Structure 1
Amino acid sequence: MLNQFSRTQLLLGEKAMEDLKNKRVAIFGIGGVGGYVCEALVRTGVGHFDLVDDDQVCLTNINRQIIATRKTVGKDKVQVMKERMLEINPDADITIHKCFFLPENAADFDFKSYDYVVDAVDTVTAKIEIIMRCKAEDVPVISCMGAGNKLDPSRFKVADIYKTTMCPLAKVMRREMKKKVLNTLR
């Protein structure tokens, strides 16, 4: 029987699709990067999500954020993203956290319940805390660095943070991670 994931299942196989359906992914930051991550994951068949952001859609987001339209300006990003994701997969289990993630509220999140974490926030202290919590619980994490004002997507690379160059945010992150004795982020 055909469904919205039939093409993906042809590519990945039935077992992989069942695995994806049972995975829980937390996305911290539902903006220019996090929004596209949510879109890709829900379209791939991931079944459980935690979306974390305290921001509202604003007019200046329209040029780069998938959830930003004139109709969504002024609305909470996590709510708009949840609605969009449920339009794609009504069976998705989506928990929204309308908050600004910081070390002070990190205990409110059960990191060990996540199969994967996406850090798409802009604040260094939040990024470090997310990484530390993931490392403590042995949860895979991808931490997104600065891609703003970059025009050549072919130069984008996924690498350990200690092997990055040309990114001011990554430079600050390396310095702060060394202070916390975090020697790798892959």
Structure 2
Amino acid sequence: MLDQFSRTQLLIGKEGIDKLSSARVAVFGIGGVGGYVCEALVRSGVGAFDLIDDDKVCLTNLNRQILATRKTVGKYKAEVMAERMREINPNVDIRIHKCFFLPENADDFPFEEYSYIIDAVDTVTAKLEIIMRAKAKKVPIISAMGAGNKLDAGRMQIADIYDTKVCPLARVMRYELRKKGVQELKVVYSDEIPTRPIEDMSISCRTHCICPPDAKHKCTERRDIPGSTAFVPAVAGLLIAGEVVKDITTGYHKAKKRR
């Protein structure tokens, strides 16, 4: 019977569609990368999601986040994304967690229920905890490295964390994961040398903060405010979604090692 996933079924078959429909994917971080992950996965037929993010849409998100429009500014990202996903597939099952993931609240998340985990958060502490929890439960996970301060979307690629180079966040993650005994981790990263943001106080969040008054994590509290584009985080999110669909439908594949 013809339905909204018929074109995808032509490529992955009915069995593949069924596997996606029965999968529950957790997306930690519904921003520039995570939003495109959600968009592509719900359009691919993934049947259930946990969306984890405590942030609200800001005016400065409009340059890159698929969920950000003038109408959604000031609304919780997880709620906005969930509404958009339900407009694409009314039957999708979505659980919203309006919170910032930390080691202190990690027990609140049913990692054992997830078919796949996407780490699209910004902080090293949260990323490490998500990864370690996923490894402990033997749940497939893919982690997003830095997409900020990049201009060449064609440099984004899938790799094992220990084969990454150039990316400052990946360097920190390699060091921390090696200490924890993690032997492999699939990531999306760019080997582009980061561009140094222009220091222009007239457009800086440092001096012109427009975060909602009740925002829990304001830009002014960040050590660095990276520059961003519409295309680099989007490509990262779509690459992640492609890996997730491939892994769910054909069995988990480790990232290819560089020769």
1:116 has 2:120 as partner:
no
Pick the structure with greater CA Rg. 2
**Hey, what's the Cα distance between the residues in 1 that align with 2:157 and 2:63?**
23
**1:143 is matched with which residue?**
143
**2:178 is matched with which residue?**
178
Equivalences for residues 1-20 of structure 1 within 5 A:
1-20=1-20
**Hey, what's the Cα distance between the residues in 2 that align with 1:114 and 1:124?**
22
**1:55 is matched with which residue?**
55
Q: Name the amino acid aligned to 1:114.
A: Y
Tell me by how many angstroms 1:179 deviates.
2.3
Tell me by how many angstroms 1:4 deviates.
1.0
- Contiguous gaps of at least 5 residues in structure 1: none
SS at match of 2:63: coil
**2:78 is matched with which residue?**
78
**Hey, what's the Cα distance between the residues in 2 that align with 1:142 and 1:165?**
17
SS at match of 2:26: strand
**Hey, what's the Cα distance between the residues in 2 that align with 1:181 and 1:16?**
34
CA shift digits 1:9-42 (9 cap, x unpaired) = 1111111101110000000000000000000000
**Hey, what's the Cα distance between the residues in 2 that align with 1:72 and 1:144?**
25
SS at match of 2:85: helix
Q: Name the amino acid aligned to 1:140.
A: P
CA shift digits 1:127-172 (9 cap, x unpaired) = 0001000100110000000011222222111111111011111111
SS at match of 2:159: coil
**Hey, what's the Cα distance between the residues in 1 that align with 2:23 and 2:29?**
19
Aligned residues: 186
TM-score for both structures, normalised by structure 2: 0.71
Identity %: 70
Q: What is the CA RMSD across the aligned residues, in angstroms?
A: 0.8
Greater relative contact order structure (CA < 8 Å, 6+ sep): 2
Q: Name the amino acid aligned to 2:78.
A: V
1:155 has 2:155 as partner:
yes
**Hey, what's the Cα distance between the residues in 1 that align with 2:80 and 2:153?**
27
- Contiguous gaps of at least 5 residues in structure 2: 187-259
**2:106 is matched with which residue?**
106
SS at match of 2:158: coil
**Hey, what's the Cα distance between the residues in 2 that align with 1:47 and 1:169?**
32
**2:27 is matched with which residue?**
27
1:126 has 2:138 as partner:
no
Tell me by how many angstroms 1:176 deviates.
1.4
Tell me by how many angstroms 1:63 deviates.
0.3
CA shift digits 1:88-139 (9 cap, x unpaired) = 0000000000000011000001111100000000010100001000100110
**Hey, what's the Cα distance between the residues in 1 that align with 2:107 and 2:158?**
29
Q: Name the amino acid aligned to 1:49.
A: F
